């Protein structure tokens, strides 16, 4: 039995991970530490809070004393670190929070963990698993080989630079102090509970409301999409089988240009509306509700500054050393995600403060070129 502390466990991947872990490891104790920024939502943990072996703590990873007490009092032996500022556009508008949480916050956790786990010149059994991103490797040309663990770091946005900084700190705590760390660098995730500022949920929800679908630049930037459940599988394997000090690239072998993803969502939603007349009453402003093509909402807008052209992951090491393989195809993953958003309208209305329309106008209206 393990005692896990999951930071950022009320955010998109964190919520999926704690649900994944509890289902497969019911005897493990899980503590979630999350400061509930705009991206964190305690309601996403409904059904877990109040159950045996699960606790939610509302707190900030930068509070080193508090984190030290949690690790010590609860006998935490596995710390899974997901808490972060995670949205590239926000890092361009305001980088400070990214340095504070992603760099200073990660160091705060490392300090606290070392203080508790290293006493009398000995390390207690432990694992510090750091969840990071493929964006630390920079941008690929279309004919470049995919990123792997040997690719030199070349972060381009304040977000990716802050994640790179955190990766280096984690590595340094292993190299210098002997802390048992593992890091996963993963590609773009999608799935239920993702805050609707990221491409896939944004496009889904805007389509339902008949709102423009903003495509940055020429829409040909490529991402390597992975269903969040496959990321959770990779994280669990890295914790259980990964060697201390190692990093593992996790991806879906599923590259696609943004415009293709957006058109696919438009088409799949159109098919849902055709098959289920109730959707037209629920979302009358969706073009498909009046028999039109959802693609009419596609709107090309100004490009993201410094927009990375292509990300792609070569997961060979994770596959050969951990036995990692993604199980969801993009077709099944996106169908599952559309189902989730259609079934969980109260969730996405609540995370946008119940004022979804104002929020979307404020945040995306200005981007129209
Ligand atoms: P998210 O933005 O949905 O969630 C982040 C969570 O961290 C939120 O619950 C937030 O409240 C919490 N948080 C932020 N600052 C905090 C602080 N100072 N103290 C405590 N909690 C804090 O992010 P996500 O998409 O779930 O990403 C989780 C992790 O995975 C991040 O480290 C991110 O860099 C990494 N990652 C994300 C993706 C992706 O596609 N989303 C891909 C690869 C790696
Ligand atoms: O690669 C992993 C990373 O994926 C994670 O580390 C980040 O936390 C996560 O946010 C994600 O970063 P991206 O910038 O790739 O994701 P985002 O959903 O913001 O954008 C995906 C692509 O779609 C990107 O090329 C920008 C484009 N885009 C995005 C939005 C929100 C649009 O064209 N229009 C949009 O409105």
- Assigned domain for 188 exists: yes
Any domain includes 286: no
**Which of 223, 252, 255, 368 should be mutated for ligand 2, with most atoms under 8 A from CB?**
223
Domain that holds residue 106: 3-193+225-254+312-328+353-364
Residue nearest to atom 3 of ligand 2 (CA): 188
- Answer yes or no: is 9 within a domain: yes
279, part of any domain: no
Residue 205 located in a structural domain? no
Segment 103-108 mean pLDDT: 98
Reported as a single tens digit per residue, the pLDDT across 256-306 is: 999 999 999 999 999 999 999 999 999 999 999 999 999 999 999 999 999
Q: In a mutational test of the pocket of ligand 1, which residue from 84, 97, 112, 225 has the highest number of ligand atoms less than 8 Å from its CB?
A: 84
> Which of 178, 202, 226, 234 minimizes the C-alpha distance to 20?
234
Give the mean pLDDT of 49-65: 96
Give yes or no for residue 201 CB within 6 A of ligand 1: no
* pLDDT, tens digit (0-9, with 9 covering 90-100), for 206-218: 999 999 999 999 9
90-99, 324-333, 356-365: least confidently modelled range:
356-365
Q: For the chain, what is the domain count?
A: 1
User: Is 246 domain-assigned?
Assistant: yes
pTM for the model: 0.96
Q: What's the pLDDT tens digit per position in 220-270?
A: 999 999 999 999 999 999 999 999 999 999 998 999 999 999 999 999 999
Residue of the CA atom closest to atom 1 of ligand 1 = 11
Q: Whose CA is nearest to atom 44 of ligand 1?
A: 133
DSSP E strands: which ranges in the chain? 3-7, 29-34, 54-58, 78-81, 118-119, 122-123, 127-133, 181-186, 189-190, 213-216, 222-224, 226-227, 246-250, 255-257, 298-301
* Whole-number pLDDT of residue 350: 86
- From 83, 198, 212, 222, the mutation candidate for ligand 2 (largest count of ligand atoms within 8 A of CB) is 198
- What is the β-pairing status of strands 122-123 and 118-119? antiparallel
Residue 83 within any structural domain of the chain: yes
Atom from ligand 2 closest to the CA of residue 258: 23
Q: Which residues are catalytic?
A: 134-135, 159
Ligand 1 pocket check for 312: Cβ under 6 Å: no
Is 125 buried (19+), middle (13-18) or exposed (0-12) by CB count in 10 A?
exposed
Q: Which two tokens stand for residue 70?
A: 């949690």
Q: What is the pLDDT of residue 353?
A: 62
Name the burial class of residue 269, with classes exposed (0-12), middle (13-18) and buried (19+) by CB atoms within 10 angstroms of its CB.
Answer: buried
Domain contains 336: no
Query: pLDDT tier at 168 (50, 70, 90 boundaries)?
Result: very high
State the average pLDDT over residues 122-149: 98
Q: Does the pLDDT value for residue 367 go beyond 60?
A: no
339-349: pLDDT as tens digits = 999 999 999 98
Rounded distance between C-alpha atoms, residue 188 and residue 135, angstroms: 9
| Residue 143's CATH number | 3.40.50.720
Q: State mean pLDDT over 74-90.
A: 98
pLDDT digits over 137-152, tens only?
999 999 999 999 999 9
Statement: residue 366 has pLDDT above 50? no
Question: Residues 6 or more apart from 73 whose CB is under 8 A from it?
Answer: none
Asked if residue 162 has its Cβ within 6 Å of ligand 1, the reply is no
Q: What is the pLDDT of residue 356?
A: 46
For residue 276, give the 3-state DSSP assignment: coil
Question: Cα separations (Å) of 138 from 55, 135, 144, 146?
Answer: 37, 5, 12, 11
As a whole number, mean pLDDT of residues 11-25 equals 98
Instruction: Look at ligand 1, atom 19, and give the residue with the nearest C-alpha.
Output: 60
């Amino acid at each position: 039995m393990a005692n896990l502390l999951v930071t950022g466990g009320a955010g998109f991947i964190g919520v999926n991970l704690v649900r994944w872990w509890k289902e497969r490891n019911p005897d493990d104790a899980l503590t979630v530490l999350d400061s509930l920024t705009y991206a964190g939502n305690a309601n996403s943990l409904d059904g877990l809070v109040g159950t045996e072996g699960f606790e939610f703590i509302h707190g900030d990873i930068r509070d080193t004393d508090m984190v030290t007490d949690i690790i010590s009092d609860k006998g935490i032996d596995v710390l899974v670190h997901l808490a972060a500022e995670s949205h590239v556009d926000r890092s361009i508008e305001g980088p400070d929070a990214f340095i504070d949480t992603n760099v200073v916050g990660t160091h705060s956790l490392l300090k606290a963990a070392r203080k508790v786990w290293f006493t009398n010149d000995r390390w207690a059994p432990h694992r510090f698993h750091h969840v990071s991103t493929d964006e630390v490797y920079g941008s690929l040309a279309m004919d470049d080989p995919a990123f792997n663990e040997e690719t030199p770091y070349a972060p381009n946005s304040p977000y990716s630079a802050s994640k790179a900084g955190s990766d280096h700190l984690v590595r340094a705590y292993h190299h210098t102090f002997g802390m048992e760390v593992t890091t996963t660098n993963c590609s773009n995730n999608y799935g239920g509970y993702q805050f609707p500022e990221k491409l896939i949920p944004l496009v889904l929800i805007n389509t339902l409301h008949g709102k423009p679908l903003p495509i940055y630049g020429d829409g040909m930037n490529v991402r390597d999409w992975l269903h969040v459940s496959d990321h959770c599988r990779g994280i669990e394997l890295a914790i259980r089988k990964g060697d201390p000090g190692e990093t593992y690239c996790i991806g879906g072998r599923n590259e696609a240009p943004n415009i293709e993803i957006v058109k696919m969502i438009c088409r799949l939603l159109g098919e849902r509306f055709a098959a289920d007349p109730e959707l037209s009453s629920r979302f009358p402003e969706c073009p498909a509700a009046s028999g039109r093509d959802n693609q009419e909402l596609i709107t090309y807008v100004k490009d993201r500054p410094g927009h990375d052209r292509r990300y792609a992951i070569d997961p060979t090491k994770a596959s050969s050393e951990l036995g990692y393989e993604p199980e969801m195809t993009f077709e099944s993953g996106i169908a599952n995600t559309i189902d989730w958003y259609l079934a969980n309208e109260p969730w996405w209305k609540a995370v946008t403060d119940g004022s979804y329309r104002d929020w979307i106008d404020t945040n995306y209206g200005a981007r129209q070129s």
